[in-house]
Amino acid sequence: MRYRVVGLHCPHCAERIQGELRKTEGLEDVRVDYHTRTIKVDADRLNSVRQVLARVDPRVRILHRFSEETDHKGLSMAAVMISAALLLATGTWVYSRTGSTVGQLLVMVGYLWVGWPVIRRALMGVVKGKVFDEHFLVTIATGAAIGIGHVAEAGVVMLLFTLGEWLQARAVGRSRRMIAELLDIRPERANLVVGDQLNVVDPTTVQVGDTIVVKPGERIPLDGEVVEGESFVDTSPLTGESVPRRVGRGELVLAGTINGRGLLTVRVTRPLEQSSVSRILHLVEEAAARKAPTERFITAFARRYTPAVVVAAVAVAVVPPLLLPGARFSDWIYRALVLLVISCPCALVISVPLGYFGGLGAAARQGILIKGANFLEGLRKLHTVVFDKTGTLTEGVFEVRSVQGRYGVSPDQVLELAAAAELHSTHPIAECIRRAYGQEVACKVTQFENVAGFGVKAKVDGKVVLVGSDAFLYREGVDPAFPRERGTNVYVAQDGVCIGRILLGDRVREDAAEAVAALRRLGIRRMLVLSGDGQQAVERVARAVGIDEYVAELLPEDKVRVVERLQRGLWRARGGAKLAFVGDGINDAPVIMRSDIGIAMGALGSDAAVEAADVVLMDDRPSRVVTAVRIARRTGRIVWQNVVMSLGIKTAFLLLGTIGMTTIWGAVFADVGVTLLAVLNGARTIRSC
Query: Which residues belong to the active site?
Result: 388
CB 444 within 8 A of CB 460: yes
The closest of 637, 592, 639, 599 to 619, measured between CA atoms, is: 599
Cα distances from 31 to residues 5, 6, 27, 297, 598, in angstroms, run 12, 15, 9, 22, 26
Q: Which residues have a Cβ under 8 Å from the Cβ of 640 and sit 6 or more positions away? A: 294
Residue 315 to residue 278: CA distance in whole angstroms? 55
Strand order, beta sheet including 258-259: 245-247, 231-234, 258-259
CB 664 within 8 A of CB 338: yes
CB 178 within 8 A of CB 34: no
H or E, element range at 226: strand 224-228
Phi/psi for 402 (5° steps) reads: -160, 155
Residue 366 to residue 377: CA distance in whole angstroms? 18
Encode 536-555: b = buried (16+ Cβ within 10 Å), e = exposed: ebbbbbbebbebeebbbbbe
Residue 454 to residue 472: CA distance in whole angstroms? 5
Q: Is 659 exposed, middle or buried (0-12, 13-18, 19+ CB in 10 A)?
A: exposed
The closest of 392, 533, 536, 395 to 454, measured between CA atoms, is: 533
Cα distances from 681 to residues 35, 181, 302, 648, in angstroms, run 16, 19, 20, 15
Residue 508: other Cβ atoms inside 10 A: 16
CB 644 within 8 A of CB 678: no
H or E, element range at 617: strand 615-617
Task: Estimate the crossing angle of helix 346-365 against helix 373-380, to 10 degrees.
Answer: 80
DSSP reduced 3-state for 116:
helix
Instruction: Compute CA 392 distance to the chain's CA centroid, rounded to the nearest angstrom.
Output: 22
Residue 351 to residue 548: CA distance in whole angstroms? 42
**Strand-pair category, 578-583 with 382-388:** parallel
Q: Which residues have a Cβ under 8 Å from the Cβ of 355 and sit 6 or more positions away? A: 635, 638, 639, 642, 681, 682, 685
Beta bridge partners of 503: 402, 489
DSSP reduced 3-state for 161:
helix
Residue 576 to residue 20: CA distance in whole angstroms? 34
Residue 224 to residue 209: CA distance in whole angstroms? 9
Residue 232 to residue 217: CA distance in whole angstroms? 10
Beta bridge partners of 521: none
Residue 203 to residue 336: CA distance in whole angstroms? 59
Residue 175 to residue 352: CA distance in whole angstroms? 13
Cα distances from 623 to residues 152, 161, 429, 618, in angstroms, run 60, 46, 25, 12
